[in-house]
Amino acid sequence: MGQREKGSSSRKEGKEWRDENPAPKDGHKCRVCRFPLLVALLQLLLGVAVTVMAFLMLAISPSLLARETPHWAGIILCLVSILGFILYCITYHADERSSVQFVVKLLYFILCTIGLVISVLVMAFAGHHYSQTSSFSCNQMGEDCVCTLDQDDPIARTFTYEGVSDCEVITGTLTLYFLLQIVLNLAQAVVCAVGLFIMWKQRYQVFFAGLQIGSPSSSQWHKV
């Protein structure tokens, strides 16, 4: 009888001790903040914005080149974001013990690097074309708009934009679109750099130095 009372009291104490324990800190307080969900969402939004902006630019004149309408940069970043969503849905295993997790992480890291490089490249192109179009002097010739950098130079290079009914679209709207592409691709580059940094920090933030001689305990390692 006394043993049963003692056992029930110990179970009651154990239950009280479990109830008094605080809830784990890494609960479901902020699922959106978990990596790489927030980064992937930003990449998707920026990728869609860059792609839409590029097609709006292409609607101004069909003679615009691919480097002037960088829809390819936005599409690539959308693919990167989809891979980020896949990585978020994969069950996490310590030290990448799952081959699927390792492959997806590696692909995401590589594509984030490519996205960063492409965003910087698009910024360079957009900056060049922005400075160029803001200095244009344009004349309407039928359904085309012919622009030059210097009207007084008879042999200056001319830029012909087909299907433009008003040259103000080239010197005004197109110039604004180039400026917006610079801003959006700068944001893309920052988000990709943040994703690369977080992945590197998760994998390599702890380094160990020194020798572990004659002791199986991991406490002999020195963190730096």
Tens digit of pLDDT for each residue in 149-193? 877 766 778 888 988 888 888 888 999 999 999 999 999 999 999
pLDDT of amino acid 184: 95
Residue 94 confidence class, pLDDT cut points 50, 70, 90: low
Q: Give the Cα separation of 78 and 74 in Å (integer).
A: 6
Comparison of pLDDT for 224 and 7, the residue scoring more? 7
Mean pLDDT across the chain: 77
* Whether the model pTM is above 0.85: no
pLDDT above 60: residue 219? no
Q: Give the Cα separation of 28 and 31 in Å (integer).
A: 6
Q: Give the Cα separation of 177 and 125 in Å (integer).
A: 13
- CA 191, 193, 199, 203: dihedral to nearest 10 degrees? -160
- Per DSSP, the three-state class of 149 is coil
Span 31-44, pLDDT tens digits: 445 667 889 999 99
What number is the average pLDDT over the span 23-27?
46
pLDDT of amino acid 203: 64
Going by C-alpha positions, the residue among 212, 206, 193 that lies closest to residue 95 is 206
CB 78 within 8 A of CB 115: no
pLDDT of amino acid 188: 94
In the sheet that holds 158-161, the strands lie side by side as: 137-141, 144-148, 158-161
Q: Give the Cα separation of 140 and 147 in Å (integer).
A: 9
